[in-house]
Amino acid sequence: MRIISLASGSSGNCYLISAEGKNFLVDCGISARKITTGLADLGIAPETLDAVFITHEHTDHISGVFVLSKRLGMPVYMTPKTYYAVKASRKIENLRFFTPEERFSHDKIEILPFRVPHDAADPVGYKFFTDEGDIVVATDCGKITDGVASAIDGARALVLESNHDKKMLECGPYPPHLKVRIAGEFGHLSNAEAATLLCNMNRSNLSALLLGHLSRSNNLPNIVMDEALSAFGGDFHTTAVQIGDQFAPRELRL
């Protein structure tokens, strides 16, 4: 099992999930060229991608999917509402729909798309059920809901948003309306909120944690790591932890 962040941050997000001989992307928020080059540099042939799962229609999560789907032709999953929010852009090849909160399967792997609170048409996170353990991607969450908490509980691998430090956001350069949006119930999880989620979840199976979608203006990797460490009681024990980067890949192997 491999979890690779090809890009994670305010300018673009793309994660590779590799399990049971399958390669899935969650989001394509960087160019198709960067995605294919990044995969090749990691020894993964882009042609081996089995599917792409889109969380929502914001540019930093979908910008590369148009060219990538045309070039490689693999299935691209999203909700109908997400599609209607982006359909005026360009064609997405091999598009497939699903209903949030209803499990479906792709090539014998079960997937649960769960709702997340964010200012998009129909945003979701994803839980992949594999023989090697459950893999969850939960980013772009304005707050911790029962659904989000339930989805990550018991996961073996978790990609979790840790977007901003509250004090840095309050004192930072963003205009007031943007600060309100980011900190609001349909914005992004703060480091403290992510730590609270980690503290309360069942971590007995958690072997890999990637904290991502960091704000370049309102966060620092060392602050993220300190907050997460506090949630684990000062020791990550058997959990491997990585901080996502906007411009460099970060990998977790299990």
pLDDT > 70 in the chain, percent:
99
Q: Which range of residues forms the domain containing residue 173? A: 2-253
pLDDT at residue 113 above 90? yes
Residue 122 identity (one-letter amino acid): D
pLDDT in tens, 185-206: 999 999 999 999 999 999 999 9
DSSP code of residue 88: T
Confidence of residue 133 (pLDDT cuts 50, 70, 90): very high
State whether residue 47 is helix, strand or coil. helix
Q: Please tell me the total count of domains within the chain.
A: 1
Mean pLDDT of the chain: 95
CA 36 from centre of chain: 18
pLDDT at residue 120 above 80? yes
CATH number of domain containing 243: 3.60.15.10
CB atoms within 10 A of CB 198: 23
pLDDT at residue 244 above 70? yes
**Predicted pLDDT at 91:** 83
Task: Report how far residue 118's alpha carbon sits from residue 234's, in angstroms, rounded to the nearest whole number.
Answer: 31
CB atoms within 10 A of CB 233: 9
Closest CA to 151 of 112, 104, 123, 105: 112
**Burial (CB count <10 Å: 0-12, 13-18, 19+), residue 80:** middle
Strands, E assignment, 131-183? 133-138, 157-161
pLDDT at residue 89 above 70? no
pLDDT at residue 53 above 80? yes
**Average pLDDT for 109-113:** 97
**Predicted pLDDT at 190:** 98
Strand pairing partners for 15? 5, 26
pLDDT at residue 14 above 70? yes
Q: Helix %, strand %, coil % for the chain, to 5? A: 30, 30, 45
pLDDT at residue 87 above 80? no
**Predicted pLDDT at 88:** 62
